[in-house]
Amino acid sequence: GAVVSQHPSRVICKSGTSVKIECRSLDFQATTMFWYRQFPKKSLMLMATSNEGSKATYEQGVEKDKFLINHASLTLSTLTVTSAHPEDSSFYICSAREQREGYNEQFFGPGTRLTVL
C-alpha cells in the first residue's frame, strides 16, 4: 500500500516556541492531505484539510494563525504549531488521500507526539 511518512516522530519543546511537523507521501501524489490531533483515549479530531497549492480549510474551533499549514507540493504538507503551550501537547497525525477511479482511501502517517513543557 501507499506510504506516508511523518517527521519528527516525537518532539519536546519549551512553551512559546514553534514546532514544524512534516508529512510526506512517499510513493504517490496526494492532492489532499489531512491533519488530525488525538487526545488520549479519544478519537481522531480533524483539524484541517490541506489542498496542494491553495489555502487550508480549517475545522471550526481550530485557530488558523496558531496551526499554520502549508501544502507546497503534491508530496509534502507541513503543520507548524506556533507559540506552543502545554495544552497543545497531543498526538498529531497526518493522512494523504490517494484518489483512484471509484475509490478514495486515506493513508496515515505514523504520527508525531508533541510535548510542550
Partner 1 sequence: GQNIDQPTEMTATEGAIVQINCTYQTSGFNGLFWYQQHAGEAPTFLSYNVLDGLEEKGRFSSFLSRSKGYSYLLLKELQMKDSASYLCAVMDSNYQLIWGAGTKLIIKP
Binding site for partner 1 (CB under 8 A): 1, 34, 42-44, 46, 49, 91, 93, 97, 103-111, 113
User: In the beta sheet, which residues pair with residue 46?
Assistant: 36
Q: Residue 31 Cβ, how far from partner 1 at the closest point, in Å?
A: 11
Q: Residue 83 Cβ, how far from partner 1 at the closest point, in Å?
A: 26
Residue with Cβ nearer partner 1 (14 or 102)? 102
Residue with Cβ nearer partner 1 (76 or 108)? 108
Residue with Cβ nearer partner 1 (65 or 103)? 103
Would residue 36 be called left, alpha or beta, if left means φ above 0 and alpha means ψ between -120 and 50 degrees? Answer: beta
Neighbours of 104 (CB within 10 A): 9
Contacts 24+ apart (CB under 8 A), 68-73: 69/35, 71/33
Q: Residue 68 Cβ, how far from partner 1 at the closest point, in Å?
A: 21
Residue with Cβ nearer partner 1 (6 or 75)? 6
Neighbours of 41 (CB within 10 A): 5
